[in-house]
Amino acid sequence: MKAPPSQLPDVASTTQRLAVLLHAGLTPTSAWQHVARGRAESNVAAAVAVESGEPGGAPERIFRASAGLAVLDRQAWNSLAAAWFVAAQVGAPLVGALRTQARALRMLVHSQREVATALAAPVSTARMVLALPAVGLVFGALLGFDTLGVLFTTPIGWGCLVVGGGLILVAVRWNRRLVRSATPERAAPGLECELMAVAVSGGGSLVQARSIVAATLERFALPGDGDHLDEVLQLSHEAGVPAAELLRAEADELRLIADADARAAAAALSVQLMLPLGLCVLPAFMVLGVLPLMVAVISSTVEGF
């Protein structure tokens, strides 16, 4: 079954449009209704707009509506919910927080599109090569040899089916695991630093801001940035400079690092996909396509004598 398309472009577009509409003076409820207009009922934005009268505000509605989505899509929607929640908690400008989040999501969308482009050729090649064993069987049948009969009615053919089928199964699973390993696992790298920048811009203390950010990440099931936040706050304290700009710069750096890692993984995958091809698919072609043909040719030759 084909995987559903990524919702990351939709999340980025929704976030940017919300920022523009709120900046123009619309209420959050009205902004969500305008953004959701014309979208499918299953869309998170549509679900949030429909439930605009429910308690908990937009962040809680986003969290509930995105619960059944794929990991990256869920993280993207929840990162929007987290930015909205933190801005509301500390009294920071919501428009600025949404614009920053939209920029981060657009960067991720751009990165994913480039990775998908880089993977298109090797993935298509791997899928095409998986059809080689079937092509070998059809080719033998077109030449007039009973390759299918050999394969399905003789002990040698049964052995070929077991070995060749096992090799194909290993190749398919190997390919999927390799592709999965090259897919980004986080939709919002740098989010913790970004949320902290929003929190400190509200004018509260660093301790209070950090407590809010930690609680928000836990509430919306989002990963943190490891030790990066501590390092930036330490630098801000030692240098005596405001932390907000340093935090935003660190968040940008983490997103750039994630983008570079994704590109490197995609480039490596184009080579790694040759391993299942050489070790599994080609031997399966020999076992399922060539060996039954050879047995059929020998059998017909012997019978001809």
Please write the tens of the pLDDT for every residue from 185-195: 777 788 888 88
Contact (Cβ atoms closer than 8 angstroms) between residue 106 and residue 261: no
Query: What is the tens place of the pLDDT at every residue in 19-34?
Result: 899 889 888 888 888 8
Query: What's the CA gap between 171 and 253, in Å, rounded?
Result: 37
Interval 2-20: pLDDT, tens: 556 778 888 888 888 988 9
pTM, to two decimals = 0.75
Q: Any residues with CB less than 8 A from the CB of 268 and at least 6 apart, and which?
A: 182
Per-residue pLDDT at 216: 92
- CA-based nearest residue to 299, from 134, 164, 144: 144
Render pLDDT for 49-61 as a digit per residue (tens, 0 to 9): 776 554 458 888 8
State residue 215's pLDDT score: 92
How far, CA to CA in Å, does 108 sit from each of 29, 84, 115, 128, 137?
Answer: 27, 19, 10, 29, 44
Give residue 304's pLDDT band: very low, low, confident or very high (50, 70, 90). very low
CA distance 110 to 118: 12
Distance CA 233, CA 238 (A): 9
